[in-house]
Amino acid sequence: MPSYPHKQTYGARALNFTNPTAKSIFETLERKKSNLAVSVDVTKAEDLLAIIDAVGPYVCMIKTHVDILDDFDFSLIEQLQHLSEKHDFLYFEDRKFADIGNTVALQYSSGVHKIASWSHLTNAHPVPGPSIIKGLSSIGLPLGRGLLLLAEMSTKGSLAVGEYTEAAVRMARQHRDFVVGFIAQRRMEGIGAQAGEDVTDEDFLILTPGIGLESKGDAMGQQYRTPREAVLGSGCDVIIVGRGIYGTDPKAVNIIGAKAERYMAEGWAAYLERIASN
Ligand code: 5BU
């Protein structure tokens, strides 16, 4: 039986991990009293920077898709790093790698984005098998980076269910130095364990997208839950919120900051309730 690490405080859980990125994520959660990651999916660098500056005080992490920027230039990275120091948060480039080991190693280290050089955390589809972890860890591990596997998705009709999810967890279990957790909709400890395998003390970091307070979904298959449902109901550790915070107007930075504060408060209240309900 797993030991339900999500009943422990974030600060205590930093000690359950050897990976330096996992440790800093849990320490940041505890220090900032925020389990909110904001996903900033905009196409102009100027909007990206303005939104990050507005939500920065309320987040533990900023999730990016740098490949959607029309005007990406590597000098942007210095500005992103400045904001992460100013506001004390980490970066998660939601790259969703899905190729053979050799190719993902090149995609992670090189090209215009050089993701491994600045993003603390990234993620990968388990579909190619363990070689994808081998490829990414050859670049990320020496830099102290961490990886999440996509064990489940928030979209209607997702194929990442059942046996696929179980196989993803088994893959992660074999690479705990680099794989720190999952993108998932619930906790993953004990899932897919082999007979006789001791999974008693395992702890995975669970980041969950598909969070919204005012809407149940979008026109393209996205499905939303509330922070309370995700953190208290399903035991997820970090909520990922995009359009629920920056809406349709990336220029409305005053509103954006206030919305981030509200999601942060809801996410943290759900966490406090969770650790109190032993
Ligand atoms: P939204 O605006 O809160 O719907 O944005 C959600 C973000 O999370 C967006 O960047 C997606 O690419 C990302 N996402 C997701 O929504 N669902 C998933 O299962 C995964 C990522 Br994996």
Lowest mean pLDDT among 32-36, 68-72, 274-278: 274-278
Burial readout 28-67 (b: 16 or more C-beta within 10 A, e: otherwise): bbbebebbbbbbbbbeebebbbbbbbbbbbbbbbbbbbbe
- With a 6 Å cutoff on the Cβ, whether 244 touches ligand 1 is yes
pLDDT band at 3 (very low <50, low <70, confident <90, very high): low
Q: Does 126 have pLDDT greater than 90?
A: yes
What letter represents residue 54's amino acid?
Answer: A
φ, ψ of residue 6 to 5 degrees: the values are -70, -5
- Cα 43 to Cα 109, 132, 163, 254: the distances in Å are 22, 28, 36, 20
Q: Does 2 have pLDDT greater than 70?
A: no
| Tens-place pLDDT, residues 159-210 | 999 999 999 999 999 999 999 999 999 999 999 999 999 999 999 999 999 9
| Tens-place pLDDT, residues 206-249 | 999 999 999 999 999 999 999 999 999 999 999 999 999 998 78
Distance (Å, whole) CA 84 – CA 24 = 13
- With a 6 Å cutoff on the Cβ, whether 243 touches ligand 1 is yes
Which of 59, 123, 127, 154 gets mutated to test ligand 1 (max ligand atoms within 8 A of its CB)?
154
pLDDT of residue 251: 87
Q: Is 242 helix (H, G, I), strand (E, B) or coil?
A: coil
Q: Does 1 have pLDDT greater than 60?
A: no
Nearest to 147 by CA among 199, 200, 205: 205
Instruction: Return the percentage of the chain with pLDDT > 70, whole number.
Output: 99
Instruction: Count the domains in the chain.
Output: 1
CATH number of domain containing 176: 3.20.20.70
- With a 6 Å cutoff on the Cβ, whether 94 touches ligand 1 is yes
Domain around 55: 5-276
Which of 36, 38, 41 gets mutated to test ligand 1 (max ligand atoms within 8 A of its CB)?
41
Rg for the chain, CA atoms, rounded:
18
Contact 172, 149 (CB under 8 A): yes
pTM reported for the whole predicted model = 0.97
φ, ψ of residue 137 to 5 degrees: the values are -70, -25
Q: Is 2 helix (H, G, I), strand (E, B) or coil?
A: coil
Provide the mean pLDDT of the chain.
Answer: 96
Atom of ligand 1 nearest to the CA of 154: 19
| Tens-place pLDDT, residues 14-39 | 999 999 999 999 999 999 999 999 99
